[in-house]
Structure 1
Amino acid sequence: MKESINLDTLPQHIAVIMDGNGRWAEQKGAMRVFGHRNAIKAVREIAEGCAELGVKYLTLYAFSTENWSRPADEVNALMELLVNTIADEIPTLHKNNTRLAAIGDIDSLPTKCAQKLRDAITETATNTGLTLCLALSYSGRWELKEAMKAIADKVAQGAVKTEEISLELISAHLHTKDMPDPELLIRTSGEMRISNFLLWQMAYTELFFTEVLWPDFRKEHLYEAIVDFQKRERRFGKTSAQLKS
Protein backbone atom coordinates (compact mmCIF):
# COMPACT_ATOMS: atom_id res chain seq x y z
CA MET A 1 0.00 0.00 0.00
CA LYS A 2 2.85 2.42 0.78
CA GLU A 3 4.21 2.03 -2.76
CA SER A 4 0.81 3.19 -4.10
CA ILE A 5 1.13 6.60 -2.43
CA ASN A 6 1.94 9.56 -4.68
CA LEU A 7 4.38 11.63 -2.65
CA ASP A 8 3.66 14.67 -4.83
CA THR A 9 0.03 14.87 -3.68
CA LEU A 10 0.36 14.03 0.00
CA PRO A 11 -2.12 15.66 2.38
CA GLN A 12 -0.02 18.23 4.21
CA HIS A 13 -2.22 18.11 7.30
CA ILE A 14 -3.89 14.96 8.61
CA ALA A 15 -6.27 15.07 11.59
CA VAL A 16 -7.21 11.95 13.54
CA ILE A 17 -10.05 11.17 15.94
CA MET A 18 -8.53 8.32 17.94
CA ASP A 19 -11.64 6.34 18.83
CA GLY A 20 -12.21 2.88 20.24
CA ASN A 21 -9.76 2.59 23.16
CA GLY A 22 -12.47 1.72 25.67
CA ARG A 23 -14.18 -0.84 23.42
CA TRP A 24 -10.81 -2.41 22.62
CA ALA A 25 -10.16 -2.88 26.35
CA GLU A 26 -13.66 -4.18 27.04
CA GLN A 27 -13.31 -6.77 24.30
CA LYS A 28 -10.30 -8.07 26.21
CA GLY A 29 -12.10 -8.03 29.56
CA ALA A 30 -9.96 -5.16 30.86
CA MET A 31 -10.65 -1.69 32.25
CA ARG A 32 -10.96 1.18 29.79
CA VAL A 33 -7.63 2.71 30.82
CA PHE A 34 -5.93 -0.45 29.52
CA GLY A 35 -7.08 0.60 26.05
CA HIS A 36 -5.67 4.09 26.51
CA ARG A 37 -2.28 2.65 27.52
CA ASN A 38 -2.18 0.42 24.45
CA ALA A 39 -3.15 3.33 22.20
CA ILE A 40 0.33 4.80 22.63
CA LYS A 41 1.80 2.35 20.12
CA ALA A 42 -0.71 3.51 17.52
CA VAL A 43 0.29 7.13 18.14
CA ARG A 44 3.97 6.24 17.69
CA GLU A 45 3.27 4.32 14.46
CA ILE A 46 1.16 7.03 12.86
CA ALA A 47 3.49 9.87 13.85
CA GLU A 48 6.45 7.93 12.52
CA GLY A 49 4.57 7.00 9.34
CA CYS A 50 3.64 10.63 8.68
CA ALA A 51 7.21 11.77 9.34
CA GLU A 52 8.65 9.16 6.98
CA LEU A 53 6.27 10.12 4.16
CA GLY A 54 6.80 13.85 4.55
CA VAL A 55 3.41 14.89 5.94
CA LYS A 56 3.90 18.30 7.56
CA TYR A 57 1.17 18.33 10.23
CA LEU A 58 -0.59 15.63 12.24
CA THR A 59 -3.29 16.67 14.72
CA LEU A 60 -4.56 14.07 17.19
CA TYR A 61 -7.83 14.57 19.09
CA ALA A 62 -6.53 13.39 22.45
CA PHE A 63 -9.03 14.82 24.96
CA SER A 64 -12.15 16.88 24.29
CA THR A 65 -13.81 19.41 26.57
CA GLU A 66 -16.70 16.93 26.81
CA ASN A 67 -14.33 14.20 28.06
CA TRP A 68 -14.11 15.98 31.43
CA SER A 69 -17.57 14.53 32.16
CA ARG A 70 -16.23 10.96 32.08
CA PRO A 71 -15.74 9.03 35.36
CA ALA A 72 -13.12 10.74 37.53
CA ASP A 73 -10.91 7.64 37.80
CA GLU A 74 -10.68 7.37 34.00
CA VAL A 75 -9.89 11.08 33.60
CA ASN A 76 -7.23 10.93 36.32
CA ALA A 77 -5.64 7.86 34.75
CA LEU A 78 -5.65 9.55 31.34
CA MET A 79 -3.93 12.65 32.71
CA GLU A 80 -1.28 10.57 34.49
CA LEU A 81 -0.73 8.56 31.32
CA LEU A 82 -0.38 11.77 29.31
CA VAL A 83 2.27 13.16 31.67
CA ASN A 84 4.35 10.00 31.58
CA THR A 85 4.00 9.51 27.83
CA ILE A 86 5.06 13.07 26.97
CA ALA A 87 8.20 12.73 29.09
CA ASP A 88 9.04 9.30 27.65
CA GLU A 89 8.51 10.28 24.01
CA ILE A 90 10.82 13.30 23.81
CA PRO A 91 13.85 11.24 22.64
CA THR A 92 11.69 9.67 19.89
CA LEU A 93 10.41 13.10 18.84
CA HIS A 94 13.99 14.32 18.47
CA LYS A 95 14.99 11.15 16.61
CA ASN A 96 12.19 11.71 14.07
CA ASN A 97 12.82 15.50 13.90
CA THR A 98 9.26 16.01 15.14
CA ARG A 99 8.02 19.20 16.77
CA LEU A 100 5.30 18.95 19.44
CA ALA A 101 2.45 21.47 19.55
CA ALA A 102 -0.92 21.67 21.28
CA ILE A 103 -4.32 23.29 20.85
CA GLY A 104 -7.09 23.62 23.40
CA ASP A 105 -7.63 24.98 26.90
CA ILE A 106 -4.22 23.90 28.21
CA ASP A 107 -4.68 25.93 31.40
CA SER A 108 -7.57 23.63 32.38
CA LEU A 109 -5.25 20.61 32.51
CA PRO A 110 -3.73 19.53 35.85
CA THR A 111 -0.71 21.73 36.62
CA LYS A 112 1.82 18.90 36.32
CA CYS A 113 0.36 17.79 33.00
CA ALA A 114 0.28 21.28 31.53
CA GLN A 115 3.87 21.95 32.59
CA LYS A 116 5.19 18.68 31.09
CA LEU A 117 3.40 19.54 27.86
CA ARG A 118 4.83 23.07 27.72
CA ASP A 119 8.32 21.76 28.52
CA ALA A 120 8.11 19.21 25.69
CA ILE A 121 6.86 21.87 23.25
CA THR A 122 9.79 24.10 24.15
CA GLU A 123 12.32 21.27 24.00
CA THR A 124 11.23 20.16 20.50
CA ALA A 125 10.62 23.65 19.08
CA THR A 126 13.72 23.62 16.86
CA ASN A 127 12.83 20.34 15.11
CA THR A 128 11.95 20.96 11.47
CA GLY A 129 10.06 17.85 10.32
CA LEU A 130 6.53 16.80 11.23
CA THR A 131 4.52 18.98 13.60
CA LEU A 132 2.62 16.67 15.96
CA CYS A 133 -0.25 18.65 17.43
CA LEU A 134 -2.23 17.34 20.41
CA ALA A 135 -5.80 18.62 20.82
CA LEU A 136 -6.28 18.60 24.60
CA SER A 137 -9.30 19.92 26.49
CA TYR A 138 -10.38 21.04 23.04
CA SER A 139 -13.62 21.31 21.10
CA GLY A 140 -14.47 23.14 17.90
CA ARG A 141 -17.31 25.15 19.45
CA TRP A 142 -15.11 26.18 22.39
CA GLU A 143 -12.42 27.36 19.97
CA LEU A 144 -14.90 29.40 17.94
CA LYS A 145 -16.32 30.95 21.12
CA GLU A 146 -12.83 32.00 22.22
CA ALA A 147 -12.12 33.47 18.77
CA MET A 148 -15.39 35.43 18.79
CA LYS A 149 -14.62 36.81 22.27
CA ALA A 150 -11.14 37.92 21.17
CA ILE A 151 -12.49 39.64 18.06
CA ALA A 152 -15.33 41.26 20.05
CA ASP A 153 -12.75 42.67 22.49
CA LYS A 154 -10.81 44.21 19.59
CA VAL A 155 -14.01 45.73 18.18
CA ALA A 156 -14.84 47.17 21.60
CA GLN A 157 -11.34 48.66 21.84
CA GLY A 158 -11.64 50.16 18.36
CA ALA A 159 -8.79 48.04 16.99
CA VAL A 160 -11.11 46.28 14.52
CA LYS A 161 -14.21 47.57 12.73
CA THR A 162 -17.15 45.20 12.28
CA GLU A 163 -16.92 45.55 8.51
CA GLU A 164 -13.33 44.32 8.73
CA ILE A 165 -14.35 40.95 10.19
CA SER A 166 -13.52 38.44 7.47
CA LEU A 167 -12.97 34.73 7.06
CA GLU A 168 -9.24 35.40 7.24
CA LEU A 169 -9.60 37.39 10.48
CA ILE A 170 -11.56 34.58 12.13
CA SER A 171 -8.99 31.99 11.02
CA ALA A 172 -6.23 34.18 12.45
CA HIS A 173 -7.85 33.98 15.90
CA LEU A 174 -8.10 30.19 15.98
CA HIS A 175 -5.62 27.95 17.79
CA THR A 176 -4.63 26.47 14.41
CA LYS A 177 -3.66 29.83 12.90
CA ASP A 178 -0.13 28.61 12.26
CA MET A 179 -1.24 25.44 10.44
CA PRO A 180 -3.03 24.79 7.15
CA ASP A 181 -6.53 23.34 7.38
CA PRO A 182 -6.55 19.54 7.49
CA GLU A 183 -6.99 17.93 4.10
CA LEU A 184 -7.73 14.47 5.50
CA LEU A 185 -9.58 13.39 8.65
CA ILE A 186 -9.28 9.79 9.84
CA ARG A 187 -11.69 8.43 12.45
CA THR A 188 -11.30 4.93 13.82
CA SER A 189 -13.77 2.46 15.40
CA GLY A 190 -16.55 2.76 12.80
CA GLU A 191 -18.18 5.91 14.20
CA MET A 192 -19.16 8.36 11.44
CA ARG A 193 -19.18 11.83 12.95
CA ILE A 194 -16.65 14.57 13.63
CA SER A 195 -17.52 15.03 17.33
CA ASN A 196 -16.96 18.77 17.67
CA PHE A 197 -13.44 18.61 16.22
CA LEU A 198 -11.93 21.41 14.09
CA LEU A 199 -15.38 22.55 12.97
CA TRP A 200 -14.20 25.69 11.15
CA GLN A 201 -11.10 24.08 9.69
CA MET A 202 -12.82 21.02 8.20
CA ALA A 203 -15.07 22.85 5.76
CA TYR A 204 -13.46 20.97 2.84
CA THR A 205 -11.64 18.14 4.60
CA GLU A 206 -11.94 14.66 3.11
CA LEU A 207 -13.32 12.19 5.68
CA PHE A 208 -12.09 8.61 6.06
CA PHE A 209 -13.83 6.23 8.47
CA THR A 210 -12.49 2.81 9.40
CA GLU A 211 -13.81 -0.01 11.60
CA VAL A 212 -10.32 -0.53 13.09
CA LEU A 213 -10.16 0.36 16.78
CA TRP A 214 -7.46 2.90 17.55
CA PRO A 215 -5.12 0.60 19.57
CA ASP A 216 -4.94 -1.66 16.49
CA PHE A 217 -4.29 1.18 14.02
CA ARG A 218 -0.93 0.85 12.25
CA LYS A 219 1.03 2.39 9.37
CA GLU A 220 -0.73 0.15 6.84
CA HIS A 221 -4.07 1.68 7.85
CA LEU A 222 -2.60 5.16 7.50
CA TYR A 223 -1.36 4.32 4.01
CA GLU A 224 -4.83 2.98 3.10
CA ALA A 225 -6.42 6.27 4.15
CA ILE A 226 -3.92 8.34 2.17
CA VAL A 227 -4.35 6.21 -0.97
CA ASP A 228 -8.13 6.58 -0.66
CA PHE A 229 -7.69 10.36 -0.25
CA GLN A 230 -5.56 10.56 -3.39
CA LYS A 231 -8.26 8.85 -5.47
CA ARG A 232 -10.79 11.56 -4.69
CA GLU A 233 -11.57 14.62 -6.78
CA ARG A 234 -11.40 17.74 -4.60
CA ARG A 235 -13.58 20.38 -6.29
CA PHE A 236 -13.97 23.09 -3.60
CA GLY A 237 -17.35 24.10 -5.03
CA LYS A 238 -16.31 23.91 -8.69
CA THR A 239 -17.45 21.36 -11.26
CA SER A 240 -15.36 18.51 -12.59
CA ALA A 241 -15.32 20.19 -15.99
CA GLN A 242 -13.84 23.36 -14.50
CA LEU A 243 -11.07 21.41 -12.81
CA LYS A 244 -10.20 19.56 -16.01
CA SER A 245 -10.03 22.78 -18.01
Structure 2
Amino acid sequence: MNDQCRMDDQRTPAVRCDGVTVTLGRRRVLDGLTLRVRPGTVYALLGRNGAGKSTTFRVLLGLRRPDGGSVALFGEPWRSGALSRVGATLDGPALYDHLSAAENLRVHVRLTGTSRARVTEVLDLVGLPGTGRRRASRLSTGQRGRLTLGIALLTDPDVLLLDEPQNGLDPEGVVELRGLLRELTAAGRTVLLSSHQLGEVARTADDVGVLSGGRLVHEGPLAGLAPDGELERAYFALTGPRVPA
Protein backbone atom coordinates (compact mmCIF):
# COMPACT_ATOMS: atom_id res chain seq x y z
CA MET A 1 0.00 0.00 0.00
CA ASN A 2 1.24 3.46 -0.86
CA ASP A 3 2.66 5.25 2.19
CA GLN A 4 0.73 8.36 1.15
CA CYS A 5 -2.44 6.48 2.10
CA ARG A 6 -1.28 6.25 5.71
CA MET A 7 -2.93 8.47 8.26
CA ASP A 8 -0.70 11.06 9.93
CA ASP A 9 -1.74 10.58 13.56
CA GLN A 10 0.67 10.11 16.44
CA ARG A 11 -1.93 8.75 18.85
CA THR A 12 -1.88 5.08 19.78
CA PRO A 13 -4.35 3.27 17.49
CA ALA A 14 -7.41 1.83 19.21
CA VAL A 15 -7.17 -1.14 16.82
CA ARG A 16 -4.06 -2.25 14.98
CA CYS A 17 -3.16 -5.12 12.66
CA ASP A 18 0.34 -5.79 11.39
CA GLY A 19 0.91 -8.28 8.59
CA VAL A 20 -2.07 -10.44 9.55
CA THR A 21 -2.44 -13.55 7.39
CA VAL A 22 -5.34 -16.01 7.42
CA THR A 23 -5.56 -19.04 5.14
CA LEU A 24 -8.70 -21.13 4.71
CA GLY A 25 -7.97 -24.31 2.81
CA ARG A 26 -5.94 -23.23 -0.20
CA ARG A 27 -7.26 -19.68 -0.14
CA ARG A 28 -5.47 -16.83 1.57
CA VAL A 29 -8.30 -14.71 2.92
CA LEU A 30 -6.07 -12.10 4.55
CA ASP A 31 -2.69 -11.54 2.99
CA GLY A 32 -0.46 -9.44 5.22
CA LEU A 33 -3.25 -7.12 6.40
CA THR A 34 -1.96 -3.98 8.08
CA LEU A 35 -4.35 -1.33 9.35
CA ARG A 36 -4.65 1.39 11.98
CA VAL A 37 -7.91 2.64 13.51
CA ARG A 38 -7.53 6.03 15.12
CA PRO A 39 -9.24 6.51 18.50
CA GLY A 40 -12.40 8.59 18.50
CA THR A 41 -13.21 8.03 14.82
CA VAL A 42 -15.55 6.08 12.59
CA TYR A 43 -13.43 3.84 10.36
CA ALA A 44 -15.25 2.18 7.46
CA LEU A 45 -13.76 -1.06 6.13
CA LEU A 46 -14.88 -1.50 2.52
CA GLY A 47 -14.52 -4.37 0.09
CA ARG A 48 -16.43 -6.79 -2.07
CA ASN A 49 -17.97 -9.94 -0.66
CA GLY A 50 -15.11 -12.27 0.12
CA ALA A 51 -12.55 -9.48 0.42
CA GLY A 52 -11.85 -10.42 4.05
CA LYS A 53 -13.92 -7.95 6.08
CA SER A 54 -15.73 -10.50 8.25
CA THR A 55 -12.52 -12.48 8.72
CA THR A 56 -10.83 -9.31 9.94
CA PHE A 57 -13.58 -8.86 12.53
CA ARG A 58 -13.26 -12.47 13.62
CA VAL A 59 -9.52 -12.08 14.12
CA LEU A 60 -10.04 -8.92 16.19
CA LEU A 61 -12.60 -10.71 18.37
CA GLY A 62 -10.43 -13.77 18.85
CA LEU A 63 -12.83 -16.01 16.93
CA ARG A 64 -10.16 -16.82 14.36
CA ARG A 65 -6.46 -17.15 15.13
CA PRO A 66 -4.28 -15.61 12.40
CA ASP A 67 -1.65 -17.75 10.74
CA GLY A 68 0.78 -14.86 10.92
CA GLY A 69 1.12 -11.26 11.96
CA SER A 70 -0.06 -9.50 15.11
CA VAL A 71 -3.08 -7.67 16.50
CA ALA A 72 -3.21 -4.99 19.17
CA LEU A 73 -6.14 -3.43 21.02
CA PHE A 74 -5.69 -0.14 22.88
CA GLY A 75 -1.96 -0.24 22.20
CA GLU A 76 -1.39 -3.63 23.81
CA PRO A 77 -0.88 -7.05 22.19
CA TRP A 78 -4.20 -8.84 21.76
CA ARG A 79 -5.54 -10.54 24.88
CA SER A 80 -9.00 -11.80 25.69
CA GLY A 81 -9.33 -9.49 28.69
CA ALA A 82 -9.37 -6.45 26.41
CA LEU A 83 -12.63 -7.66 24.86
CA SER A 84 -14.47 -6.35 27.92
CA ARG A 85 -13.95 -2.94 26.32
CA VAL A 86 -15.21 -4.04 22.91
CA GLY A 87 -18.79 -4.35 21.65
CA ALA A 88 -19.58 -6.12 18.39
CA THR A 89 -22.21 -7.21 15.92
CA LEU A 90 -21.24 -9.98 13.52
CA ASP A 91 -23.12 -12.04 10.92
CA GLY A 92 -26.45 -10.33 11.51
CA PRO A 93 -28.81 -10.51 14.50
CA ALA A 94 -28.29 -13.46 16.85
CA LEU A 95 -31.30 -13.17 19.13
CA TYR A 96 -33.39 -15.49 21.30
CA ASP A 97 -36.66 -15.25 19.38
CA HIS A 98 -38.76 -16.65 22.23
CA LEU A 99 -37.55 -13.90 24.58
CA SER A 100 -38.61 -10.27 24.63
CA ALA A 101 -36.31 -7.47 23.55
CA ALA A 102 -35.62 -6.59 27.19
CA GLU A 103 -35.02 -10.24 28.11
CA ASN A 104 -32.51 -10.58 25.29
CA LEU A 105 -30.62 -7.67 26.81
CA ARG A 106 -30.90 -9.12 30.32
CA VAL A 107 -29.21 -12.33 29.17
CA HIS A 108 -26.18 -10.27 28.28
CA VAL A 109 -26.51 -8.24 31.48
CA ARG A 110 -25.99 -11.47 33.42
CA LEU A 111 -23.12 -12.57 31.19
CA THR A 112 -21.28 -9.25 31.46
CA GLY A 113 -22.20 -8.17 34.97
CA THR A 114 -23.79 -4.97 33.69
CA SER A 115 -26.40 -3.10 35.73
CA ARG A 116 -30.01 -4.09 34.91
CA ALA A 117 -30.81 -0.38 34.72
CA ARG A 118 -28.77 -0.30 31.52
CA VAL A 119 -31.49 -2.27 29.69
CA THR A 120 -33.97 0.63 29.58
CA GLU A 121 -31.17 3.06 28.72
CA VAL A 122 -30.05 0.95 25.77
CA LEU A 123 -33.59 0.43 24.42
CA ASP A 124 -34.01 4.20 24.36
CA LEU A 125 -30.53 4.72 22.89
CA VAL A 126 -31.18 2.49 19.86
CA GLY A 127 -34.68 3.80 19.24
CA LEU A 128 -36.71 0.94 20.72
CA PRO A 129 -38.61 2.56 23.59
CA GLY A 130 -41.82 0.74 24.40
CA THR A 131 -40.77 -2.50 22.68
CA GLY A 132 -39.10 -4.13 25.66
CA ARG A 133 -41.92 -6.65 26.22
CA ARG A 134 -42.28 -7.60 22.56
CA ARG A 135 -40.82 -10.95 21.57
CA ALA A 136 -37.81 -10.76 19.32
CA SER A 137 -39.61 -12.97 16.79
CA ARG A 138 -42.24 -10.21 16.38
CA LEU A 139 -39.76 -7.42 15.76
CA SER A 140 -39.26 -6.09 12.25
CA THR A 141 -35.94 -6.61 10.47
CA GLY A 142 -34.89 -3.08 11.30
CA GLN A 143 -35.92 -3.44 14.96
CA ARG A 144 -33.91 -6.67 15.22
CA GLY A 145 -30.91 -4.81 13.87
CA ARG A 146 -31.40 -2.06 16.45
CA LEU A 147 -31.66 -4.63 19.25
CA THR A 148 -28.46 -6.32 18.09
CA LEU A 149 -26.74 -2.94 18.18
CA GLY A 150 -28.15 -2.45 21.67
CA ILE A 151 -26.51 -5.67 22.82
CA ALA A 152 -23.19 -4.41 21.47
CA LEU A 153 -23.65 -1.12 23.37
CA LEU A 154 -24.77 -2.71 26.62
CA THR A 155 -21.36 -2.49 28.37
CA ASP A 156 -20.71 1.05 27.11
CA PRO A 157 -17.63 -0.17 25.18
CA ASP A 158 -14.65 1.91 24.11
CA VAL A 159 -14.55 0.22 20.69
CA LEU A 160 -17.46 -0.95 18.53
CA LEU A 161 -17.00 -3.49 15.71
CA LEU A 162 -20.12 -3.34 13.54
CA ASP A 163 -20.68 -5.66 10.60
CA GLU A 164 -23.12 -4.00 8.15
CA PRO A 165 -25.01 -2.11 10.88
CA GLN A 166 -27.32 -0.35 8.38
CA ASN A 167 -28.80 -3.60 7.04
CA GLY A 168 -32.57 -3.73 7.42
CA LEU A 169 -32.91 -0.18 8.72
CA ASP A 170 -35.41 2.17 7.14
CA PRO A 171 -34.19 5.65 6.07
CA GLU A 172 -35.10 7.12 9.45
CA GLY A 173 -33.19 4.35 11.20
CA VAL A 174 -30.13 4.92 9.02
CA VAL A 175 -30.13 8.63 9.90
CA GLU A 176 -30.55 7.84 13.60
CA LEU A 177 -27.68 5.32 13.46
CA ARG A 178 -25.46 7.93 11.80
CA GLY A 179 -26.24 10.39 14.58
CA LEU A 180 -25.61 7.77 17.27
CA LEU A 181 -22.21 6.85 15.82
CA ARG A 182 -21.21 10.51 15.70
CA GLU A 183 -22.31 10.94 19.33
CA LEU A 184 -20.23 7.94 20.36
CA THR A 185 -17.09 9.19 18.65
CA ALA A 186 -17.63 12.70 20.01
CA ALA A 187 -17.53 11.10 23.47
CA GLY A 188 -14.22 9.41 22.62
CA ARG A 189 -15.48 6.01 21.47
CA THR A 190 -14.08 4.33 18.37
CA VAL A 191 -16.17 2.61 15.68
CA LEU A 192 -14.89 0.15 13.08
CA LEU A 193 -17.66 -0.82 10.69
CA SER A 194 -17.99 -2.73 7.44
CA SER A 195 -20.51 -1.59 4.87
CA HIS A 196 -21.57 -1.87 1.25
CA GLN A 197 -23.62 1.32 1.47
CA LEU A 198 -21.08 3.74 0.03
CA GLY A 199 -23.43 6.71 0.14
CA GLU A 200 -23.90 6.30 3.88
CA VAL A 201 -20.17 5.71 4.42
CA ALA A 202 -19.53 9.05 2.71
CA ARG A 203 -21.82 10.71 5.28
CA THR A 204 -20.54 8.87 8.34
CA ALA A 205 -16.89 7.81 8.16
CA ASP A 206 -13.81 9.77 9.14
CA ASP A 207 -11.38 7.21 7.73
CA VAL A 208 -11.69 4.50 5.12
CA GLY A 209 -9.83 1.26 4.48
CA VAL A 210 -10.39 -0.63 1.23
CA LEU A 211 -9.77 -4.39 1.14
CA SER A 212 -9.09 -6.22 -2.09
CA GLY A 213 -7.77 -9.77 -2.30
CA GLY A 214 -7.07 -9.85 1.43
CA ARG A 215 -4.85 -6.77 1.29
CA LEU A 216 -5.55 -3.20 2.29
CA VAL A 217 -5.15 -1.24 -0.94
CA HIS A 218 -6.03 2.10 0.63
CA GLU A 219 -6.19 3.54 4.12
CA GLY A 220 -6.67 7.16 5.04
CA PRO A 221 -9.13 9.98 5.67
CA LEU A 222 -12.29 9.87 3.62
CA ALA A 223 -11.45 13.21 2.03
CA GLY A 224 -8.17 11.78 0.77
CA LEU A 225 -9.88 8.90 -1.01
CA ALA A 226 -12.70 10.89 -2.57
CA PRO A 227 -11.89 14.62 -2.45
CA ASP A 228 -14.62 15.27 -5.02
CA GLY A 229 -17.16 13.36 -2.94
CA GLU A 230 -17.39 10.56 -5.52
CA LEU A 231 -16.67 7.66 -3.17
CA GLU A 232 -18.24 5.09 -5.49
CA ARG A 233 -15.94 6.09 -8.34
CA ALA A 234 -12.85 5.97 -6.09
CA TYR A 235 -13.89 2.61 -4.65
CA PHE A 236 -14.29 0.95 -8.06
CA ALA A 237 -11.02 2.47 -9.24
CA LEU A 238 -9.30 0.56 -6.41
CA THR A 239 -11.24 -2.70 -6.56
CA GLY A 240 -12.06 -2.94 -10.27
CA PRO A 241 -15.56 -2.25 -11.62
CA ARG A 242 -17.97 -5.13 -12.00
CA VAL A 243 -20.93 -3.11 -13.13
CA PRO A 244 -22.31 -2.48 -16.62
CA ALA A 245 -20.61 0.40 -18.42
Fold in common (TM above 0.5): no
Question: Under a length normalisation based on structure 1, what TM-score does the superposition of the two structures give?
Answer: 0.34
Q: Which has the higher helix share?
A: 1
Q: Which has the higher strand share?
A: 2
